[in-house]
Copies of this chain bind each other. A is one copy, B any other.
């Protein structure tokens, strides 16, 4: 197609189809890519899809679903079987929800079972303790936080499974577009934490699904 070179070996190599990152692509380019993948009966995941682009694309390909908070478009060739392991997604504040939703929906799209635990910041420890019973049943947890980004450390200190930390650009002043929580998470005093890029809910969900479904 000139502007996109498909990686048709990816499903074989990695077990999942390619996700399409929509920023920097025109709606028409996205439509062409989507049509091609649907034709190949490949699952389709469109990340960072703006509402106005989604509106245009759904008119051309009505089968595509769209989740506006997470800015995700998707299409599945068939209903998949949900995997057993639990991969909860925790967020520190209301403003972190779009990123958390992107992670939770990515997990579900790929076939993992997720749960949402939102708005439990470190300034109110008892809310975290309330959520502990569910977190302790998890095989992997995604923890999303802006501000000082301390939630992954606190949670990783309480549970025994891997924690995927996602810094968000939420906050003001010296948050610096997510650098403050990114650095916090990199410096977590609790081991067992892996960090993905700022606001990268998709990447967190994808990595958590890989961990949740590690073959044995």
Whether the pair A123, B157 counts as a contact (CB closer than 8 A) is yes
Residues of chain B contacted by A92 (CB below 8 angstroms): 189
A50 touches B (CB below 8 Å): no
Task: Select from chain B the residue with minimum beta-carbon distance to A200.
Answer: B173
A109 touches B (CB below 8 Å): no
Whether the pair A139, B215 counts as a contact (CB closer than 8 A) is yes
Quick one: which of B125, B189, B197, B207 contacts A186, CB cutoff 8 A? B197
Whether the pair B184, A195 counts as a contact (CB closer than 8 A) is no
Residues of chain B contacted by A44 (CB below 8 angstroms): none
Distance between Cα atoms of A194 and B165 in the complex (Å):
9
Distance between Cα atoms of A181 and B193 in the complex (Å):
17
The digit string for A137-180, where 1 denotes a CB below 8 A from any CB of B, is 00110000011111001101111111010010111111110111
A52 touches B (CB below 8 Å): no
Whether the pair A95, B210 counts as a contact (CB closer than 8 A) is no
Whether the pair B158, A125 counts as a contact (CB closer than 8 A) is yes
Residues of chain B contacted by A197 (CB below 8 angstroms): 172-174, 186-188
Residues of chain B contacted by A21 (CB below 8 angstroms): 93, 95
The digit string for A1-31, where 1 denotes a CB below 8 A from any CB of B, is 0111101011001110001010111000100
Task: Select from chain B the residue with minimum beta-carbon distance to A5.
Answer: B119
Whether the pair A3, B153 counts as a contact (CB closer than 8 A) is no
- List 21 contacting pairs A-B, 8 Å CB cutoff, sorted by A: A5-B119, A21-B93, A23-B170, A24-B95, A122-B189, A123-B154, A125-B125, A148-B149, A148-B150, A150-B153, A164-B194, A172-B197, A173-B186, A173-B187, A174-B186, A180-B187, A181-B184, A181-B187, A191-B202, A192-B206, A194-B196
A interface residues with partner B (beta carbon < 8 Å): 2-5, 7, 9-10, 13-15, 19, 21, 23-25, 29, 48, 84-85, 92-97, 116, 118-129, 139-140, 146-150, 153-154, 156-162, 164, 167, 169-176, 178-200, 202-203, 206-207, 210-212, 214-216
